[in-house]
Chains A and B, each alone.
Chain A
Amino acid sequence: MLAGLASVREKIIIKLTKLVNLTISVLAKRNSEDIRCKCICPPYKDVEGQIYKQNVSLKDCNCLHVVEPMPVEGKDVEAYCLRCECKYEERSSGTIKVTIIMYLSILGMLLLYMVYLTLLEPMLKRRLFGHSQLIQSDDDVGDQQPFANAHNVLSRSHSRPNMLNKVEHAQQRWRRQVQEQRKSVFDRHVVLS
């Protein structure tokens, strides 16, 4: 038993080390991709304008290091390089990735919740309590808007565990607030028009 536990722990530790190593390597990799030195060189004599990008550090970010192959010869190099503009830029692709994925997941969750509230919940409730009670509850609230089907049927007929009740009450109150807001913004146009 104990030995089993120990082996499990060992496995976990090994896995964790692997994970850490992976993260470090990802971070290191990210760092090398996230810097660039970008040189924009305008047309010069018969050489076309060109853009050069190199993965070099800030102190090497100048035309002589970055522009490769040099399109001009010998004495022209200096003149050519004087016209080029080199900029050192840094970004964090990790931040970008995390932000975008977080944004998309929040958006997705909100959409799912919205679909649940507008479509699934009334359907579930209908199945649970039958038609008559639903009509009654609709009458109570007197609103045909989505979200309007308040939860009072549920709370009246069952005394549920407290935590659930509390969450339900909070949700219900929030819904009533939203409904009120929606009425004043979209229907009566008293605020925010």
Chain B
Amino acid sequence: MSQFVASLFKKYKACGDKGFTMMENPGYISGSFDRLHHPSDDDDDDMVDIAGATLDFSSSDDVPPLSSGNRGMTTSRAAGMNGNGPSKLVDPLEDPVPGLGTYEDFNTIDWVREKSKDRDRHREITKKSRQSTVALLHSVSDAFSGWLLMLLVGLMSGALAGGIDIAAHWLTDMKDGVCLIGFWFNHEHCCWTSNETTFQERDRCPQWQSWGELITGTSEGAFAYVVNYLMYILWALLFSFLAVILVRAFAPYACGSGIPEIKTILSGFIIRGYLGKWTLIIKTITLVLAVSSGLSLGKEGPLVHVACCCANILCHLFTKYRKNEAKRREVLSAAAAVGVSVAFGAPIGGVLFSLEEVSYYFPLKTLWRSFFAALVAAFTLRSINPFGNSRLVLFYVEFHAPWHLVELAPFILLGIFGGLWGALFIRANIAWCKIRKSTRLGHYPVIEVLVVAALTALVAYPNSYTRMSGAELISELFNDCSLLDSSQLCGYKQPANTSETGVGNSLADRPAGEGLYTALWQLALALVFKMMITVITFGMKVPSGLFIPSMAVGAIAGRLLGVGMEQLAYYNHDSFIFKGWCSPGADCITPGLYAMVGAAACLGGVTRMTVSLVVIMFELTGGLEYIVPLMAATMTSKWVADAFGREGIYEAHIRLNGYPFLEPKEEFDHSSLAVDVMRPRRSDPALAVLTQDGMTVGEVEALVESTHYSGFPVVVSPESQRLVGFVLRRDLLISIDNARKRQEGVVSASTVVFTEHALAQAADAPPPLRLRGIMDLSPFTVTDHTPMDITVDIFRKLGLRQCLVTHNGRLLGIITKKDILKHMAQIANRDPDSILFN
């Protein structure tokens, strides 16, 4: 080893000397060294990818700014790794071989390797901390960095969420009109201090001018209506166009809800740039545009993505997280919790959401950190106070009307509806996305968004319940009718003696009046419209969340059922169902509660969440007494939806895209054995292996280049096939190329040695290349008769990437995560080639 370092140092000095003699070419020194010292300054998220960053440079046409005379020395030899050559100069005093232990784009990480890497690092720090005070401080700051990171993530996500809330609210109202006292006020804030608002029309004040009023001068009449209608469509088109064009131009990864991808990333997949700076900026900006364009989508899912981007970017600041993919995923798990926490103002619900829905590996430590981060985020959002009413969400409700046991029946009915709708929605949406993926429709993403936005605006405007934004609609539906309300939904007939009865503001059951009937059929139309438009909206190339549309559908259905129940009770006080608990004059049925239960049921049907959903809903309402109805509805909806297909919308999208996601919830109950799944199959050529000594660099390179495998087992000899270890392709290539650059005498004829001690060689032979350091000496092995269910369990629980199969101690084959996924797809009668990535 010391010999190796010494030779490196010699080489480095030699390079330095050469560099010195070439000082007349200033581009050389700074052009290459500076870049190497800041290799990932502008990188999106591949901060670990030092070699990758420099690889990009040499691989492509943009040669560094050198005059052609120096090129012979700097151009790299083409290597086999995606045609990329490695970096030409590396500072050997820091990290001997940069890029070792990193991953390529669209690959899966090895959790075991990452975790052991972190443990080694930790051990190193602990060992050093006993030696000096500085090292002790370092170890303390290292231990503390996790919490500090959480604090920063919470602050940043909370602030961003507040900004998104304010901007989205304002831009949504922009479709209707403009505030004359300050264009930055939305409708509500425009009339904040105005005393001209009336009880009937609470949001009308002279400061707020609709476009029709501004243009025609009058707020009444057909002309003003037409102008308003046109302006609404125009703004909707403009916003959606801007959203889709920005996504297309700057960050294509910013489209969609992001939760399926985050789920996959948390399970160990790598999508470079998916959580980067540009994705964050574009997603934040376009999310506001997309939400305000009136499309049937919400901001809750994308907020999870935004929070994860924040976390990933902030991970740059801490070496502990920058260099370790597994540690980074712990932070991302917590960030997912933060996202939901700010989206619904539900910190505990967020933590549970992360645990139940998105996370793959969720140790207790992450639970506490998520909790802390969610708390900080909620607090930040609260101090921004985006809605001006000290609430974190628009549709916060607070009522404490009691419910009766009999009402469980309609709640379960709502659960059945939610489950049916969830199953139907998943089927329809996946079918539509398949069409988008495979037919010509997918070639016109911009036009698609524009058409859907135009259609939405055109149909939505005439109906006041679809015209308002999803969150406002939900808020109105959740709201219970009291004397204070004057909306159409509360258009009951006033009993003659209302002013004399009681003191409080809650009302006894009343017969429905004209206004309520109008509201009911409008709501029914809105329900049909929302159900259909959401199917084609989700999955378009704009940031689009699913929570709000699903909740809106459920809330409408729930409200309709609630009003129905109320009227039923009013007209049948004496029937056996209502006798005893719903006497005349009592306020026994709360339609707002039904809306809430319906919303939970539909969201549960679509996403298949249970615990976290109930907690989120309960945090939204602040009423503990509704837990049982919510539980009943979500559980029913999950059962019903699971009867039609076991996967939720996110899993369905993961499957549609063919991401390598090993579903932890799914059970594997097929009786196959490891030998049935492993590669090579019987008809395939033999497994490509390296021997621990005796192969030359040229042979290794030939083997690597002739195959496309991501890793190679190392055996004692080809005859015995006894296993020594496992080497990853990327590590192998980087080390060989690096050695060729910097180690003297490494040529194609030098031998590659994986043993601890090199064999004695002929004196004139080139020095051997020692690669023991990059070999995984403890690869996981199973025997060929291991049942697959156990193997799958090993993969899931340990987060393995590959596992070697032996027979009588001899290496027989290899099973990768992809093989398992393909096998599972085959068992489920799906196309095994749908699994695309490694």
Contact = CB atoms under 8 A, between A and B. Distances in A.
A is bound by B: yes
Contacts of A29: none
Highest count of chain B CB atoms <10 Å: which of A96, A110, A151 = A96
Given A40-B199, A82-B503, A166-B34, A193 B442 contact: yes
Contacts of A192: 252-253, 255-256, 261, 657
B184 A100 contact: yes
A186 B271 CA distance: 16
B657 A36 contact: no
Contacts of B390: 89-90
A11 interface: no
A103 interface: yes
Nearest to B256: A192
B35 A103 contact: no
B65 interface: yes
A181 B273 contact: yes
A177 B44 contact: yes
B250 A173 contact: no
B774 interface: no
A138 to B, nearest CB: 12
Given A85-B505, A99-B167, A166 B199 contact: no
Interface string A120-142: 00000000000000000000110
B70 to A, nearest CB: 12
A159 B65 contact: yes
B437 A189 contact: yes
A16 to B, nearest CB: 27
Given A95-B166, A140-B61, A51 B198 contact: yes
Contact of A95 (B255, B288, B384): B384
B60 A114 contact: no
Contact of A150 (B61, B282, B445): B61
B164 to A, nearest CB: 9
A134 B197 CA distance: 62
A97 B30 CA distance: 44
Given A91-B192, A95-B384, A114-B245, A181 B251 contact: yes
B651 to A, nearest CB: 15
Given A42-B505, A53-B194, A193-B433, A103 B285 contact: yes
Interface string A150-176: 111001100110100110011011101
Contacts of B482: 42
Contacts of A111: 242, 246
A2 B31 CA distance: 45
Interface residues of B, number: 84
A190 interface: yes
A90 B388 contact: yes
A117 B285 contact: no
Contact of A43 (B288, B499, B541, B656): B499
A169 B57 contact: yes
A45 interface: yes
Interface string A19-53: 00000000000000100100011111100111111
Interface string B434-476: 0011100011010000000000000000000000000000000
Contact of A169 (B62, B193, B195): B62
B288 to A, nearest CB: 7
Of B62, B63, B250, chain A has the most CB atoms within 10 Å of the CB of: B62
A166 B27 CA distance: 11
Contacts of A101: 184
Contacts of A40: 199, 484
A106 interface: yes
A186 B65 CA distance: 33
A82 B246 CA distance: 53
B699 interface: no
Size bracket of the A interface: 35 or more
Contact of B249 (A99, A114, A174): A114
A107 B62 contact: no
A122 B452 CA distance: 32
Contacts of A162: 26-27, 30-31, 34
Contacts of B170: 96, 100
A17 interface: no
A103 B289 CA distance: 11
Given A50-B199, A162-B26, A186-B445, A114 B250 contact: yes
A43 B433 CA distance: 52
Contacts of B539: 193
A99 B252 contact: no
B278 A107 contact: no
Contacts of B483: 42-43, 83
Contacts of A50: 198-199
B185 to A, nearest CB: 7
A101 B288 CA distance: 14
B392 to A, nearest CB: 14
Given A173-B42, A192-B261, A55 B193 contact: yes
A191 interface: yes
B645 to A, nearest CB: 19
Nearest to B199: A49
B67 A159 contact: yes
A155 B60 CA distance: 13
A80 B812 CA distance: 87
Contact of A100 (B162, B167, B249): B167
Contacts of A44: 499
Contact of B278 (A48, A174, A187): A174
Interface string B47-74: 0000000001100111111010000000
Contacts of A82: 503
Contacts of B433: 193
Contact of A91 (B34, B183, B189, B245): B189
Nearest to B68: A156
B163 interface: yes
Contacts of B836: 190
A152 B62 contact: yes
A33 B193 contact: yes
Given A96-B189, A106-B285, A169-B35, A191 B271 contact: yes
B389 interface: yes
B200 interface: yes
Contacts of B249: 114, 117-118, 146-147, 178
A77 interface: no
B199 A51 contact: yes
A85 B252 contact: no
B124 interface: no
B18 to A, nearest CB: 19
Contact of B62 (A85, A90, A95, A155): A155
B41 A170 contact: yes
A101 B200 CA distance: 33
A65 interface: no
Contacts of A178: 249-252, 278
A100 to B, nearest CB: 4
A7 interface: no
Interface string B419-432: 00000000000000
Contacts of B198: 50-51
Contacts of A18: none
Contact of A96 (B185, B248, B281): B185
Counting from the closest, the 4 A-B pairs by CB-CB distance are A49-B199, A91-B388, A42-B483, A100-B184
8 contacts: A49-B200, A50-B198, A92-B385, A100-B166, A146-B249, A186-B541, A193-B433, A193-B437
Interface of B: 26-27, 30-31, 34-35, 41-42, 44, 56-57, 60-65, 67, 162-163, 166-167, 170, 182-185, 189, 192-195, 197-200, 202, 242, 245-246, 248-253, 255-256, 261, 271-273, 278, 281-282, 285, 288-289, 384-385, 388-390, 433, 436-438, 442-443, 445, 482-484, 486, 499, 503, 505, 539, 541, 656-659, 836
Given A92-B385, A185-B255, 17 more contacts: A91-B192, A96-B166, A100-B183, A102-B163, A107-B285, A140-B61, A141-B61, A156-B63, A162-B27, A174-B42, A178-B278, A181-B251, A181-B253, A182-B248, A189-B442, A191-B657, A192-B256
